[in-house]
Structure 1
Amino acid sequence: MSWTRHHVLSLADFSTAEYDIVLQTASSFQEVLSRRTKKVPTLQGQVVANLFFESSTRTRSSFELAAKRLSADTLNFAPGTSSLTKGETILDTAKTYLAMGTDMMVIRHKEAGVPQAIAAEMDRLGVKVGVLNAGDGQHEHPSQALLDLFTICSLLDSENPRLSLLEGKKIAIVGDILHSRVARSNIWSLTASGAEVHLAAPPTLLPKWFADYVKEPNDSSNVDRKLFIHWTLDPALQNADFVMTLRLQRERMTNHLLPSLREYHQQFGVTRDRLQQCRANVKVLHPGPVNRGVEISSDLMDDPQFSLISQQVTSGVAVRMALLYLMGGGKEVGGK
């Protein structure tokens, strides 16, 4: 299996082989991260620019650490102290980093489509600069969904994580799905595995059209995707193998879509008692940051018997190392 993708902007057109390449490469880097010396010279001499036009802790930090573990040089962009405040356009900012010798750009922006626009501009200029979408508006967050996938598959088979492990599993995604780019990317990746994905949220945060989300024209995979929506929590949790809770995207809500956070927790908050409807070995995930006591009870979040949240953060470095490695070299898996 070889990697040919120059940019990672969306998971809508990812193939099974591409998912497995990322999972297997991340697994090998997970082993590297367990060593005393956690650095490899794979991307030595390359420059990775983290262009985060929107606030981030986990994603930005893990991309920076991933690049450094691969021996790449990093450039970190801070919009508040940049020339954007003087009227420079986003594309001109990207071109400035290109002129500095950047090989890969990791882009986060509050507006959907910005990473795609930068990637298109790099392609138009005929330069071999890879662009990785680190979250754009309400569109997608591919690396988060890939680390979620890696976390789950590694739990099922730590030696050989692969997409087929999720076939037939039931996975519930609960929360603010309407505003969530994490949910959109996870829907693509999880349904590609053959898992049943059940979405649960109030109707204001889960419009009826989400039932047809995976039937959009940009799905060229020909996969029989199983996606279901629920406006109450119990049907989604019934016999679930994994439960993924999502943060209420209050900074993206333009209308009052919920009566109160307290009422939301009463109806859709994931608690230890509610998990009794799931399978006995159910695990809970959350992309963070977490509103404790809203999407998930605080005691459940910290319980290692159920929670995979800390593993998700750890997985993030290995998965982002894998993406940067594949985009920066495109070598065959196992060629490190």
Structure 2
Amino acid sequence: MTAHNPSSQSLQLTGDGQLKHFLTLDGLSKTLLTDILDTADSFIEVGERTIKKVPLLRGKTVVNLFFESSTRTRSTFELAAKRLSADVLNLDISTSATSKGESLSDTLLNLEAMASDMFVVRHSQSGAPHFIAESVTPGVAIINAGDGRHAHPTQAMLDMLTIRQHKGRFDGLKVAIVGDILHSRVARSQIRALNALGAAEVRVIAPGTLLPADVESLGCRVEYDMARGMRDLDVVIMLRLQKERMEGALLPSEREFYRLYGLSQDKLALAKPDCIVMHPGPINRGVEIESAVADGPQSVILNQVTNGIAVRMAVMSMAMSGQVAERGRGQQGGDAA
């Protein structure tokens, strides 16, 4: 199963450019990405209320369809749906009928028969959410919660919201993504988002064994030397070493990786004094990042987690709104016919 990039824009957007699925950042405009950030900003305040709910998805059923394990992503999607007043069904695929041989298509048909309105999909195969979006009944929104090495668009957008909160802008910013770029769906989505939103420069810093062959075609500059790559940075995003996806000896050792590419206070000092430190989590302390940096004054890692709920609320509400609008137009067209 591969990602269906050419059709992603037409698949994701309604006829008038509203979001109806959220599968990838490829092809999405700066205006739409800014709308997502602005909508997420408006939801930040909901999390500070005594009663943390708005009625935007009241009466709607959201199914968390996770074929891969996840703690942060799944729990923040669940919280986001509940804060939008949706009914939420968490499906543990490892114990579901799929593990007994039921096909993905049959699983979807059964879930649709329960009158589900939205599937939040996390899958180990690139392109799975695209396949599902092409297969489901019209009116059911699909949100990509991470697919293979392809994309993790909500993580990238919560990272963009965090950057905008702390820097106030994207133009002129120099941003580096450091570590296991090869296995990171997050990095691909971050590079797309940063370029679309107008960052001055996106760098990736990693050993050659942890870089995809086509990385520069994504729109970034490659640095193999951490000291050189950290110069003049406004934002540094550290990535988790995804050892579960690695085949063969891509790394000499974790200790050697930390010496060359781990973020220590000494390396952070090479960046601008107000450079912020980010990490999508979970963090391997002492491998990717020093505890003093992860917990230090320049770290915004916990802000990212908080922003995850607001961004996922924004994407879910916007996609559902787009589905409702598209269905309304379809009914009008049917009436006219």
TM-score (norm 2): 0.89
Superposed displacement of residue 208, structure 1: 4.5
Alignment of 1:1-336 (within 5 A): 4-122=18-136, 125=137, 127-157=138-168, 165-195=169-199, 196-214=201-219, 227-303=220-296, 305-330=297-322
After TM superposition, the runs of 4+ consecutive aligned structure 1 residues lying more than 4 A away are: none
SS of the equivalent of 1:102 reads coil
SS of the equivalent of 2:244 reads coil
CA distance in 1, matches of 2:248, 2:154: 29
Contact 1:242 1:284 in 2 (8 A): yes
SS of the equivalent of 2:189 reads helix
AA paired with 1:308? V
- What percentage of aligned pairs have identical amino acids? 48
AA paired with 1:300? V
Superposed displacement of residue 257, structure 1: 0.2
CA distance in 2, matches of 1:150, 1:256: 36
Superposed displacement of residue 310, structure 1: 0.3
CA distance in 2, matches of 1:271, 1:53: 35
Superposed displacement of residue 3, structure 1: 5.9
Superposed displacement of residue 213, structure 1: 2.3
Number of residues paired by the alignment? Answer: 308
Contact 1:50 1:74 in 2 (8 A): yes
CA distance in 1, matches of 2:112, 2:143: 14
Contact 1:245 1:295 in 2 (8 A): yes
Contact 1:3 1:21 in 2 (8 A): no
Superposed displacement of residue 15, structure 1: 0.4
SS of the equivalent of 1:76 reads strand
What 5-or-longer segments of structure 1 have no aligned partner?
Answer: 158-164, 215-226
AA paired with 2:298? F
CA distance in 2, matches of 1:67, 1:192: 27
SS of the equivalent of 1:251 reads helix
Q: Output the aligned Cα RMSD.
A: 1.4
CA distance in 1, matches of 2:265, 2:287: 13
SS of the equivalent of 2:221 reads strand
CA distance in 2, matches of 1:95, 1:256: 42
AA paired with 1:68? K
AA paired with 1:213? L
AA paired with 1:198? R
Superposed displacement of residue 205, structure 1: 0.3
Contact 1:39 1:70 in 2 (8 A): yes
Superposed displacement of residue 194, structure 1: 2.0
CA distance in 1, matches of 2:83, 2:63: 15
CA distance in 2, matches of 1:57, 1:68: 16
AA paired with 1:59? T
CA distance in 2, matches of 1:29, 1:5: 18
Tell me which protein shows more helix as a share of its residues. Answer: 2
SS of the equivalent of 2:182 reads coil
CA distance in 2, matches of 1:38, 1:237: 40
CA distance in 2, matches of 1:174, 1:279: 16
CA distance in 1, matches of 2:89, 2:298: 37
Superposed displacement of residue 245, structure 1: 0.2
SS of the equivalent of 2:51 reads coil
CA distance in 2, matches of 1:109, 1:235: 36
SS of the equivalent of 2:252 reads coil
Contact 2:20 2:321 in 1 (8 A): no
SS of the equivalent of 2:122 reads strand
Contact 1:6 1:327 in 2 (8 A): yes
Match in the other structure for 2:329: none
Contact 1:112 1:139 in 2 (8 A): yes
